[in-house]
Amino acid sequence: MTTLRNRIKTLAYRWYYRRMNRLAWEGAPAPDVKTSFLQLPLPEQTLGARMYHGSRHRPLIIYFHGGGWTIGDLDTHHPFCLRLAHQTRCTIMSIDYRLAPEHPFPAAHEDTMAASRWIIDNLNALAPNNGEVVIAGDSAGGNLTLSTAVRLPDEPRLRGCLMIYPATQHYHAAMRSYKEHAKSGPLTTSIMRWFMDTYLDGLAPADPATEIMFPGKRIPLSGFPRSLLVTAEKDPLRDDGKRLAIALQRAGVTVQHEHFSQEAHGFPCSEGPTPGHERFMSLTKNWIEAISAR
């Protein structure tokens, strides 16, 4: 149940997150990428999306922004998506999924699944693409990427997943990084716990309903598409991503795991054009090109 205190805290976090992202990218030259706004006519509702136009020789990237399922939006990740589209030459569809506490679990997971299904089924009517898709996201968006992809095991047009420091386990899982890097970067352990508690809205992590949020134990990872998985050292989610890389490898999935030993949570998307951001863009560009060449 949403309390007034929690609602005020949510609004404060959203304001701060938008402000910090705006300041991080302020003054950075914006790539010349054509954009347009769409309303996706999904079965249960209409959902907004921003489309960045790319090449017909590249897959379309379906992107889910981060922000703990409670903050973040199309604007906070607009500078990042502009540069991702420019570097990879991919059309990107950034999805404006519903947020908690107004819309608790499983709203975001339902939205991203429905949006992905609609986009895949309507590729020919969207901006240029080669008829294939990559699902991508950072942090909570990485969780949504994993959750969506495991529910599309036989989709031939899904060629890959890009997961940037994904949150894929409940914080009750024994992960040293939650203690070692509790306050090492902008995402603290206490904030991460609040994000998850707010989204789950009292639902216990052991509840079978949460299997779409925490796949791996009940939902098999076999058949998952090839993946690029990025982790940061100074991040409470460090061990979460590392465990996922191991689990995917054991399931026979082709995984490229890139660990950024000097970076903190948010470095590709929320800190501006730093060296870490540039390195991330370079490896993502190369990974997309390898997929496109197959």
Give the separation between CA 227 and CA 213, rounded to whole angstroms: 18
Q: Which residues contact 165 (CB under 8 A, 6 or more apart)?
A: 138, 139, 142, 230, 231, 232, 235, 237, 238, 240, 241, 265
C-alpha neighbours within 13 Å on the C-beta side of residue 136: 29
Catalytic site includes residue 77: no
Given 139, 147, 177, 227, which residue is catalytic?
139
Report the side by side order of strands in the sheet with 92-95. Answer: 35-41, 46-52, 92-95, 60-64, 133-138, 158-164, 227-234, 255-264
pLDDT tens-digit readout, 158-184: 999 999 999 999 998 889 999 999 999
Residue 6, pLDDT score: 87
User: What are the backbone dihedrals phi and psi of residue 252, each rounded to the nearest 5 degrees, phi first?
Assistant: 85, 15
Residue 219, pLDDT score: 76
Residue 193, pLDDT score: 97
User: Residue 280 belongs to a domain with what CATH number?
Assistant: 3.40.50.1820
Among candidates 158, 140, 160, 108, which has minimal Cα distance to 236? 140
Residue 10, pLDDT score: 95
Residue 223, pLDDT score: 87
Looking at the structure of the chain, the number of domains it has is 1
pLDDT lower than 70: segments of the chain: 1-2, 216-218
Residue 222, pLDDT score: 84
pLDDT tens-digit readout, 221-232: 888 999 999 999
Q: Note down the domain range covering 8.
A: 4-292
Given 65, 77, 86, 265, which residue is catalytic?
265
Catalytic site includes residue 235: yes
